[in-house]
Chains A and B, each alone.
Chain A
Amino acid sequence: RALCPLVPSAPAALRALPPPVAVGVLHTTRPLHTTQQSLAPVPPLPEKGGEVRHGLIPEEFFQFLYPKTGVTGPYMLGTGLLLYFLSKEIYVVNHETAAAACILGVIIYGIKKFGADVAAFADKLNEEKLASARAMKSESIETLQKAIEEEKKEQWRAEGRSYLFDAKRNNIAMLLEANYRERLLMVYTEVKKRLDYQVAMQNLKRQKEQDHMIQWVEKSVIQSITPQQQKESIAKCILDLKALSKSAHAAV
């Protein structure tokens, strides 16, 4: 018990644990996390220290003397003791007394004048440290919450995978359909081309036969026109033209 670790302001629970035995660097023999009570977070420091009057004498002394001697008891005790020491020269007045008086005066003046400012400055430093720690904590809490929200959103997104698969299935069906229709169209055009070819062939053949026949008929007709027939037809044409010109003159 007397060899407990020298931790000045540790709570009683820390001191109650068995002392660690260092094996190398790692304290392995002390069991960790076996007690119910958790040691973190450490309880916060008390706000104000013990009450002290005139900066020197704790308040408990005044409270201790209050029932017997009232409010002025400790002051009477102090004055009496001081006068006794001075008169019996248990406390000797020498140059150090003067030095002590001056030093005390300066110290008290300094404390009275600058005490509040220094205290405010120290409090501000403490506040900044605490604020940065709190900011870190809240920041990490925020990032974790954001991560939780993102995770929930991802889970919600994953629920829509059936729609995704339906859309994909639709796409594939459309591709297959389009492919099928393309091939159908190709078959149709090929067949039509072949049929058109046959039709064109037949038309060509008939046309050639017609042309040939017409040419042959014309040639034979022209051959059959004898010169006498030619003269007769020319004379007829001239007579017709004269008649026409007469009728034309008459009209004009």
Chain B
Amino acid sequence: MKSPLRTEMVRLGELHSWISTCSFSPQGLLGAVQRAWNSYCAKYIHVKQGGPAGISMLLAGYCLLSYGWNYQHFKRHRWRKYH
């Protein structure tokens, strides 16, 4: 499951070899998503004294995602034509 120590600690030079060991099947991707979500929960939410950080990061990510999805709509409301 975890090839080097942790998925996040892969060095930049080893990115190619690490990507080749990843499984990109739907099950593999689902497992990766699940692991990521579990590690996020374990780190920021399932603690005795969590702060606003846990939910605020999720909300910020949601804001960014929704802005990204609606970017074409926002592009039409620019103030200047040439930047």
Contacts and interface: CB of A to CB of B under 8 A. Distances in A.
A97 B47 CA distance: 33
Given A8-B38, A49-B44, A49-B50, A55 B79 contact: no
> Main secondary structure on chain B at its contact with chain A?
helix
Contacts of B50: 48-49
Given A2-B28, A45-B47, A47-B47, A55 B38 contact: no
Contacts of B77: 92, 94
B74 A92 contact: yes
B30 A49 contact: no
A126 B46 CA distance: 13
A45 B47 CA distance: 5
A56 B49 contact: no
A9 B83 CA distance: 49
Given A9-B41, A55-B52, A92 B47 contact: no
A242 interface: no
B30 A2 contact: yes
A56 B60 contact: yes
A50 B49 CA distance: 10
Contacts of B46: 8-9, 45
B17 to A, nearest CB: 21
A115 interface: yes
Residue among A49, A88, A89 with max Cβ neighbours from chain B (10 Å)? A49
B56 A49 contact: no
A55 B42 CA distance: 17
A167 interface: no
B79 A92 contact: yes
Interface in B39-74: 41-54, 56-57, 60, 63, 67, 74
B75 interface: yes
A46 interface: yes
Nearest to A88: B83
Interface in B16-45: 27-28, 30-31, 34, 37-38, 41-45
B5 to A, nearest CB: 14
Nearest to A48: B49
B50 to A, nearest CB: 5
Given A88-B83, A92-B74, A55 B41 contact: no
Interface of B: 1, 27-28, 30-31, 34, 37-38, 41-54, 56-57, 60, 63, 67, 74-75, 77-80, 83
13 contacts: A6-B34, A8-B38, A9-B41, A48-B50, A49-B44, A49-B49, A49-B53, A49-B54, A50-B53, A52-B51, A56-B53, A88-B83, A92-B77
Given A55-B53, A58-B57, A111-B52, 15 more contacts: A2-B27, A2-B31, A6-B34, A8-B38, A9-B42, A45-B47, A49-B45, A49-B53, A50-B53, A52-B44, A55-B56, A56-B56, A91-B67, A92-B75, A92-B79
